[in-house]
Amino acid sequence: MQHLHQAIQRCPRVAVYGTLKRGHRNHHWLNGADMLGQDCLNEITLYDLGPYPGAKLTPSAGVIVEVYAIDAERLARLDELEDYLPLAPAEGVYDRTVLATQYGDAWCYIYNPTVEATQLIESGEW
């Protein structure tokens, strides 16, 4: 838990681009979090994985994200949902990294597996 508290002190925000956005099936995981607003991030590229998108840390024309203020408890729950493994980030489905948004630095979940056989989401919005 110490790791999570350090992480949240470093970055008390999360930028989401898929099923966690308003109107999508996993948004309830962010109930009670303050939405700070939308932004467009050029450091990531979205891919269509079927039931959800995955972002890779490669430049794009922009991906539309929602940025939320969060706490350590909510970050821990999001880590579970995204199969992020803090002690072995490369082994989970997602890793997370800090990206700059207009609302300050925010955690963003980055898809670990290959996206070779998936469709690029050129519009940047899923």
pLDDT digits (tens, 9 = 90+) for 67-85: 999 999 999 999 999 999 9
33 in a domain, yes or no?
yes
Structurally, the chain folds into a number of domains equal to 1
Rounded CA gap, 29 and 22, in Å?
11
32 in a domain, yes or no?
yes
126 in a domain, yes or no?
no
125 in a domain, yes or no?
no
How sure is the predictor about 113, in pLDDT bands with cuts at 50, 70 and 90? Answer: very high
| Domain limits for position 105 | 2-120
Query: Catalytic amino acids?
Result: 82
Looking at residue 6, what is its pLDDT? 57
Rounded CA gap, 88 and 59, in Å?
25
7 in a domain, yes or no?
yes
Contact between residue 14 and residue 70 where contact means Cβ atoms under 8 Å apart:
yes
CA angle 41, 115, 17 (to 5 degrees): 30
Task: State how beta strands 13-16 and 34-41 pair.
Answer: unpaired
CATH code of 86's domain? 3.10.490.10
User: Per-residue pLDDT for 5 more than 60?
Assistant: no
